[in-house]
């Protein structure tokens, strides 16, 4: 049984620190019996391409470096755990895909539930709590 | 007969200990206990809050030398 208002996470930044926090929010929310939906757009979508090197995917500032040195949980692993242990859906912004010339099969596997437009995401998010990173 | 499972999450950062606990609970039977060892300070509040939210049972919580031991009974 799902409890609490659904959580909607809008992720635009490609910074490691913000992506990490998005993954933490999404995974912890989902395992806490909240329905969670994450919408990935702008620079963030580039971090989820299959061809992104670790340096591209985990680029950030001082805290990013600390997380790498101390082996903080990997953000892709956290998101996959959120999907496995809870109700987490992850959407790729259709505009971001178009602008970047990406198809769904260019994105890392077993993560995204499909492409989605902002209008639909925003409409759905009226029913819950929206967090933007 | 109920069993006790040990999750050694020492050295893992938030939310690693919680995720390791959930993975262990999925493989445990109802009534089994899972003991989590964590050095993450947040676990002492995070794991009991999660247990309360999803309705498992908190059996005990202790700290010694910077290591938390949290015992959970699977209730459902």
> Which fold would CATH assign to domain B4-70?
Translation Initiation Factor IF3 (3.30.110)
**Is the pLDDT confidence value at A1 over 60?**
no
Interface touch A71/B54, C-beta < 8 Å: no
Of B32, B36, B72, nearest in space to B53 by CA: B72
Residue A107 forms beta bridges with which residues?
A49
DSSP designation for A73:
P
pLDDT band at residue A132 using 50, 70 and 90 as cut-offs:
very high
Q: What pLDDT, in 10s, does the model give residues A11-40?
A: 999 999 999 999 999 999 999 999 999 999
The answer to whether A94 and A120 are in contact (CB under 8 A) is: no
Q: What is the pTM of this model?
A: 0.88
ipTM: 0.80
8 A C-beta contact, residue A123 and residue A91: no
- Is B12 an interface residue toward A (CB < 8 Å)? yes
* CB-based contact B18 A3, cutoff 8 Å: no
**Is it the case that residue A60 has pLDDT exceeding 80?**
yes
- Please tell me what DSSP assigns to residue A33: T
**Beta strand spans in chain A (E):** 7-11, 36-40, 88-93, 114-116, 129-132
B26 in contact with chain A, both atoms CB, cutoff 8 A: yes
- Residue A2: predicted pLDDT: 58
Query: Is B1 part of the annotated catalytic residue set?
Result: no
In angstroms, rounded to a whole number, what is the distance separating the alpha carbons of residues A35 and A115? 18
pLDDT digits (tens, 9 = 90+) for B24-68: 999 999 999 999 999 998 899 999 999 999 999 999 999 999 999
d(CA A113, CA A110): 8
Reported CATH class of domain A7-132? alpha beta
From B9's Cα to the closest Cα of chain A, the distance in A is 12
Q: Does A78 touch chain B (CB under 8 A)?
A: yes
Domain residue spans of chain B: 4-70
Instruction: Please check whether residue B45 touches A, CB under 8 A.
Output: no
pLDDT value of residue A29: 95
Provide the pLDDT for residue A56: 84
**What CA–CA distance (Å, rounded) separates A71 from A68?**
5
Express each pLDDT in A73-84 by its tens digit: 999 999 999 999
Backbone φ and ψ of A58, nearest 5°? -115, 45
- Nearest chain A residue to B13 by CA: give it: A72
Residue B15 CA to residue A6 CA, distance in Å, equals 20
Cross-chain Cβ contact B22/A85 below 8 Å: yes
Q: Which chain A residues are Cβ-neighbours of B14 within 8 angstroms?
A: 24
Token reading at A3: 């409890």
Cβ–Cβ gap A24/B15 under 8 Å = yes
For residue A100, what are its two tokens?
A: 């970047």
Nearest to A79 by CA among A122, A7, A28, A8: A28
């Amino acid at each position: 049984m799902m409890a609490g208002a659904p959580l909607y996470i809008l992720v635009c930044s490609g910074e490691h620190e913000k992506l990490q926090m998005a993954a933490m929010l999404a995974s912890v929310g989902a395992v806490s019996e909240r329905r969670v939906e994450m919408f990935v757009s702008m620079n963030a979508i580039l971090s989820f391409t299959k061809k992104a090197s670790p340096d591209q995917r985990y680029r950030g500032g001082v805290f990013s470096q600390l997380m790498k040195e101390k082996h903080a949980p990997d953000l892709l692993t956290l998101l996959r755990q959120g999907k496995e242990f809870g109700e987490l859906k992850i959407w790729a912004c259709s505009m971001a895909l178009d602008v970047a010339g990406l198809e769904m099969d260019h994105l890392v596997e077993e993560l995204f539930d499909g492409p989605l437009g902002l209008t639909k995401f925003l409409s759905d998010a009226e029913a819950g709590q929206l967090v933007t990173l | 007969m109920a069993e006790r499972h040990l999750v050694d999450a020492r050295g893992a950062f938030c939310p690693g200990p919680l995720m390791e606990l959930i993975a262990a609970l999925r493989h445990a039977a109802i009534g089994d206990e899972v003991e989590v060892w964590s050095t993450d300070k947040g676990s002492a509040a995070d794991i009991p809050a999660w247990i309360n939210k999803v309705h498992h049972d908190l059996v005990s919580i202790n700290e010694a030398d910077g290591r938390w031991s949290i015992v959970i009974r699977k209730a459902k």
